[in-house]
Amino acid sequence: MIVRKTPIYVTKPSLPPMEEYLPYLSKIWDTKQLANNGPFHQELEAKLCEYLKVKYISLFSNGTLALVTALQSLRITGEVITTPYSFVATTHALWWNNIKPTFVDIEPNTFNIDPEAIEAAITPHTTAIMPVHVYGNPCDVHKIKDIADSYGLKVIYDACHTFGVTLKGEPVLNFGDLSVMSFHATKVYNTFEGGAIVCHDAATKKRIDNLKNFGFTNETTVVTPGINAKMNEAQAAMGLLQLKHVDRFIAERKAVAEKYREILKDVPGVTLLHDLPDVKHCYSYFPIFINKAEFGRTRDDIYEEFKKHNIFTRRYFYPLISQFPTYKGIESAHPGKMPVAERVTQEVINLPFFPDLDDDTISEICSVIKGK
Ligand SMILES: *Cc1c(COP(=O)(O)O)cnc(C)c1O
């Protein structure tokens, strides 16, 4: 067995050359404006609206606070229907708002929330749906809109895996009442940490902007018990610089995905995530799914085998959010209720995936899977 000397991890943050960041820092030192809707913050909101083709965006210090604030801004209460197949912050945001999550199953091909399961789970207490565009693949946004319209529900998308994703040319961020993004170090586009809420009208943006700044509307008026979730100028500067490089990063991610697909396409028991028709992807993750009966070994066997090779993969998403001790007592979380999600969480493994992953390393990773 050949064990690589330097460990390889599931991801590596995309960084522009450091010397390109220094002029931004000098400007911050000159103006002494470090936070509170400074010039870089304003410029980044404008540039992101242009790049993402959305009307309004509010920047946040991270995606989780953006999720919590999005729910606050629409005064969501009662029960919200959501997916167990996501990063735990999706459900935590509900809990921080005293909202009861109702988990429903996912679709077997996209791993996104199943619209039919949403409809079956609606009760008189349901006020909203919180779906996730898992791995950046758009949810069935039209069906979800139909359901929300029929039952009078709000839709808040956790769009933390999507950056610039379009469906038939339309930005997926424009669906739903709000979409929440994350610019964490591990995402396709990062501002060290960061996040945003996309909305469609000026009044909603204003309310969100008040909420992320303690509820202030002017120097002496506080209209709501807001929080401090503002993005600072160092983050916003990073965001402006990253925008200049993100197209290249996404193109490189696509090339890595294609290389993986070429090598792994005929491995029995291994299912790959494929591009969907009519979708411009951002290539945020490269999950594969291991069917034990056909593959001969389990997903966890492979996960452990990788570790022996000094390759550190991750199981996104395992366990399901509904399987964590804090949530497993909820009735909708009980075992057997979500057969697709319960199977997929046992099969998924995310391979190392970042822009400059070289061909030799990709081949090495694939040979661990193929066992040769
Ligand atoms: C990353 C992520 C979050 C949280 O974002 P942070 O910026 O890390 O707070 C929430 N939901 C999903 C699906 C994510 O991938």
Q: Which of 59, 64, 133 to mutate to test the pocket of ligand 1 (most atoms within 8 A of CB)?
A: 64
What is residue 236's predicted lDDT score, i.e. its pLDDT? 98
The pLDDT-based confidence of 3 (bands split at 50, 70, 90) is confident
Pocket lined around ligand 1, Cβ cut-off 6 Å: 62-64, 86-87, 89-90, 132, 158, 160-161, 182, 184, 193, 195
**Index of the ligand 1 atom closest to the CA of residue 63:** 7
Per-residue pLDDT band at 372 (split at 50, 70, 90): low
- Specify the pLDDT at position 142: 98
Average of per-residue pLDDT values in the chain: 97
Counting from 1 in the atom list of ligand 1, the atom nearest the Cα of 183 is 7
d(CA 39, CA 31): 9
Residue 112 CA to residue 83 CA, distance in Å, equals 8
Q: Taking 70 as the threshold, does the pLDDT of residue 322 lie above it?
A: yes
How far apart, in Å, do the first and last CA atoms of the chain sit?
9
Residue with tokens 């696509």: 254
Report CA(110)–ligand 1 centroid distance (Å).
19
Q: State the architecture of 18-243 in CATH terms.
A: 3-Layer(aba) Sandwich (3.40)
Q: Which two tokens stand for residue 57?
A: 């965006």
| Atom 5, ligand 1: residue with shortest CA distance | 63
Report the alpha-carbon distance of residue 196 to residue 325 in Å, rounded.
Answer: 29
pLDDT above 80 for 19: yes
Hey, whose CA ends up nearest to atom 15 of ligand 1?
A: 160
Give the span between the Cα atoms of 110 and 162, in whole angstroms.
14
Q: Is 312 exposed, middle or buried (0-12, 13-18, 19+ CB in 10 A)?
A: middle
Strand partners, 100: 79
Q: For ligand 1, atom 10, which residue shows the shortest CA distance?
A: 89
Distance 193 CA to ligand 1 centre (A): 10
This prediction has a pTM of 0.98
Per-domain residue ranges for the chain?
A: 18-243, 246-370
What average pLDDT does this structure show over 250-278? 97
- Encode pLDDT of 57-108 as tens digits: 999 999 999 999 999 999 999 999 999 999 999 999 999 999 999 999 999 9
Contact 84, 113 (CB under 8 A): no
**Is the model more confident about 4 or about 86?**
86
User: Torsion angle of alpha carbons 202, 208, 212, 214, nearest 10°?
Assistant: 90
How deeply is 34 buried, as exposed, middle or buried, from its count of CB atoms within 10 A (0-12, 13-18, 19+)? exposed
Indicate whether 220 pLDDT > 80: yes
pLDDT of residue 297 exceeding 90 = yes
Residue 308: burial class (beta carbons within 10 Å; 0-12, 13-18, 19+): exposed
User: Given this model, what pLDDT does residue 111 score?
Assistant: 98
Distance 90 CA to ligand 1 centre (A): 7
Phi, psi of 23 (to 5 degrees): -60, -35
Atom of ligand 1 nearest to the CA of 195: 7
| Ligand 1 centroid to residue 201 C-alpha, Å | 24
Give the distance (Å) from ligand 1 centre to CA of residue 161.
8
DSSP characters over 218-249: ETTEE-S---B-PPPHHHHHHHHHHHHHHHHH
For ligand 1, the distance from its centroid to the CA atom of residue 191, given in whole angstroms, is: 13
Mutate to test the pocket of ligand 1, among 67, 90, 106 (most ligand atoms within 8 A of CB): 90
Which atom belonging to ligand 1 lies closest to the Cα atom of 62? 7
Q: Which residue has the tokens 């005293």?
A: 98
Residue 372 CA to residue 370 CA, distance in Å, equals 6
Cα of 39 from ligand 1 centre, angstroms: 26
Ligand 1, atom nearest to 187 Cα: 1
How far is the centre of ligand 1, averaged over its atoms, from the C-alpha of 87 (Å)?
6
Cα gap 215→352, rounded to integer Å: 41
Say if 18-243 and 246-370 have the same CATH topology: no
The tens digit of pLDDT for each residue in 146-193 reads 999 999 999 999 999 999 999 999 999 999 999 999 999 999 999 999
Q: Which helix (H) or strand (E) holds 272?
A: strand 270-272
- How long, in residues, is the chain? 372
CATH class of the domain defined by 246-370: alpha beta
Name which residue sits closest to atom 2 of ligand 1, judged by CA. 160
Residue 135's pLDDT is: 98
Measured from the Cα of 184, ligand 1's closest atom is 7
| Residue among 167, 189, 176, 351 nearest 276 (CA) | 167
Return the amino acid letter for 173: L
Q: Give percent above pLDDT 90 in the chain.
A: 98
Distance 250 CA to ligand 1 centre (A): 19
Residue 58, classed as helix, strand or coil, is: strand
In this prediction, residues 102-126 reach a mean pLDDT of 98
As given in the structure block, the two tokens for residue 72 are 């606050």
Q: For ligand 1, what atom is nearest to the CA of residue 194?
A: 7
What tens digit of pLDDT does each residue of 25-42 get?
999 999 999 999 999 999
What is the pLDDT, as a whole number, of residue 371?
A: 87
Give the DSSP letter of residue 84: S
Rounded to the nearest angstrom, the distance between the alpha carbon of 230 and the centre of ligand 1 is 16
Per-residue pLDDT for 365 more than 90? Answer: yes
Alpha-carbon span 104 to 181, nearest angstrom: 22
Q: Is the pLDDT of residue 260 over 80?
A: yes
Mutate to test the pocket of ligand 1, among 61, 87, 321 (most ligand atoms within 8 A of CB): 87
| Residue 75 CA, ligand 1 centroid: distance in Å | 21
